[in-house]
A and B are shown apart, each in its own frame.
Chain A
Amino acid sequence: MAMADQNASGSFRLSMLIYDSRYRSMTIQVIVLIMVVLGVVWLVDNLLSNLSALDKDPNFGFLWETSGYDINQRLIEYSSQSTHFRAAEVGLLNTLLVAVVGCFFATLLGVSIGVMRLSKNWIVSRLMTVYIETFRNVPVLLWIVFAMAIFIEVFPQPKAFRGDNATAHMIGDAVAFTNRGIYIPRLEFHEGSSFVVYTLIASIIGIFLFGKWAKAHQEATGQILPTFWIKLGILIIPALVVFFVMGKPIQMFYPELKGFNFKGGLHLRNSLIALTLALVIYTSAFIAEAVRAGIMAISKGQTEAALALGLRPKRVMSLVVLPQALRVIVPPLISQYLNLTKNSSLAIAVGYMDITGTLGGITLNQTGRELECILLLMIIYLTISLSISMVMNIYNNSVKLKER
């Protein structure tokens, strides 16, 4: 037997690729790989030949043609004379705006609700349970459409603000809630305003340094400073002083009813607000659950030990439990951020012009370039998602348990 074995390993026969367990799995993998590659090649070839039968060879030249359509919310210069590429950029920025604002507020809301869900107060914790179960169990598209419908039906039309017997009024002559959106004052930056901005930046750095110092001070002396008020002071006072010294270079423009609409202020469109709001409440319900799971994963002993040391309950949460819970919370948080970003593509339901609405909507429809547009969209969403995940993974590495 031993002899036979040695013989076998000495001379390699083709049949061994199938019968010899050392090679078999490799053989199967190679065969499957070849089949997959052939299949993909065949599908792509099929696609290309079908497209050319339709006389539609893939071509991205349309991106540089005039778009011909207008977009209401533009964060960068754009008109109907711009290119489809520019329209896609406008849409991309609109997507990112909703994603960033949405993730920010969803986190704030989600963390608060998750913590409150664990509250000892029966009513509070029940209420939070109701919140979570209502919002995460109804499809987000319905929330988006619902938010928009409420917006349109509840708030007054701009013309209700007109005349002597107006039925609607601006709040403090500065903010107007209408069914087309909320109009708020707009800041305009004049010469000298850069000093104010620099001061503000310096103050933020100052706050950061002060925070570090306060911590060191507390560790050294045990004295806890009222950091919040001091930080607020550092933020506001120098900037205010510079603002007045420079002769008020930043001006506020108030919205005013002119013609059909309010002019002069900043227009937060109903589509933007409805979309963001719906995404925030929906996603926050999931984040709250992740937060609750994270907190419950921390053993009771930690809390008891902290309490035994004399920490107040609030500090137990912020100094002992949350920092440890973060390592459990962050990974599901990443997927919630990704979900929110991808769900923002439902924007068209309320006419918000995100990248799906411009590149994947009007451009696709007007140029008939389905394949190209969808391909680009996929690449763009993939890039956004991978970037979010990369950033969050870096953060995750910084909060995960350090094993020493």
Chain B
Amino acid sequence: MKKSVFLGTLAAAGLMAGFASAGTLDDVQARDALKCGVSTGLAGFAAPDANGRWEGFDVAVCRAVAAAVLGDPEKVEFVPLTSKVRFTALASGEVDMLSRVTTWTFSRDVDLKFTFTGVNYYDGQGFMVRKDLGVASATELDGATVCITTGTTTELNLADYFRSNGMEYEPVPIETNAEAQQQYLSGACDVFTTDSSALAATRATFENPGEHMVLPEIISKEPLGPLVRQGDDQWADIVRWTLNAMITAEELGVTSANLDEMAAGSDNPEINRLLGTEGTLGEMLGLDNDWAKRIIASVGNYGEAFEANIGESTPIGLSRGLNALWKQGGLQYSPPFR
């Protein structure tokens, strides 16, 4: 009995090793579900709504990939991950991709062996305080107690920032955004620091958002984007070009509303290539030629996804800023579809 359990374990371990080396695309298609790592709960980016359906800007990227690969934006298994465990989960194959407000950094790309497949939100780290604290600038925070999520770039930036400004602080490490919120609101820390988009999202969920303010200083660059394991170039290409398809669609004026009209064929060859009425770009990815059409049909183009989840008409109210298209003075720019 003992021996058979042991042999079973060996066999299972062997099988798992076998699976891990197969292509991620094949795995996802065989499973008929995409396992996508998201935040445990960050309004506007990834959070379950009242019916338990995951919604958000990061979630849209997962749904877009599922639409492209599996033909159905609902075939996503969302795996909520804290900042601390997200990389282990991705590296070990527990998820196929991460779309979880994750900053593209050198060491994550090179040393942790991941491949970032673009930037869906250009961000920077900020500080949030209560207005009645009477602080107008981050340089006045000497001696403050600061809540930070552990396992993030923000934790390192914070150490650097206070050090280089000759200030002291008391870090309070916290695992999830929800706990950080609780500690901050009860005044166990004076300051909450993280990506400023996440600050805006968190503030929007407060009972009295007007009592809190985000300080003017942005102390870092936080290009947030989806990422996959290094070494599976086909899969990385699929995720990369899914995001690019959303951006290009916005550039070309393709929206979920006019999609059918555009897909009937247009005078613009790039639109035709994107939507698969011309050329075989989808097949080159290992998908079919309607892949991008399905993406836009399910989550809209980049601008639509932005406005629906975190834009100015939502409670989070982020303006496009750096995330406007390059033509409008922003940084969002997709390589051409040809």
Contacts and interface: CB of A to CB of B under 8 A. Distances in A.
Interface of A: 32, 35-36, 39, 42-43, 46, 50, 53-56, 68-72, 79-81, 152-153, 157, 159, 179-180, 258-261, 263, 270-271, 348-349, 351, 353, 357, 361-362, 364-368, 370
Given A39-B10, A180-B145, A153 B160 contact: no
Given A53-B21, A55-B230, A261-B170, A69 B156 contact: yes
A368 B159 contact: no
A54 B231 contact: yes
Contacts of A263: 143
B317 to A, nearest CB: 29
B150 A361 contact: yes
A274 to B, nearest CB: 11
Contacts of A361: 84, 150-151, 173
Given A179-B186, A365-B84, A72 B170 contact: yes
Contacts of A80: 156, 159-160, 163
Contacts of B20: 50
B173 A370 contact: no
A387 B264 CA distance: 75
A362 B173 contact: yes
Nearest to A260: B144
A351 B84 CA distance: 13
B14 interface: yes
B17 interface: yes
B234 interface: no
B188 A159 contact: no
Interface of B: 3, 6, 10, 13-14, 17, 20-21, 83-84, 87-88, 91, 107-108, 111-113, 141-145, 150-151, 155-156, 158-160, 162-163, 169-175, 182-183, 186-190, 229-231
24 contacts: A35-B3, A39-B6, A42-B10, A46-B13, A53-B21, A80-B163, A159-B187, A179-B186, A258-B143, A259-B142, A260-B141, A260-B143, A260-B145, A351-B173, A351-B175, A361-B151, A362-B173, A365-B151, A366-B107, A366-B156, A367-B111, A368-B111, A368-B113, A370-B88
A351 B174 contact: yes
Contacts of B230: 54-55
A271 B304 CA distance: 43
A80 to B, nearest CB: 4
B168 to A, nearest CB: 10
Residue among B13, B151, B187 with most chain A CB within 10 A: B187
B13 A179 contact: no
Contacts of A362: 84, 150-151, 155, 173
Nearest to A352: B173
B17 A46 contact: yes
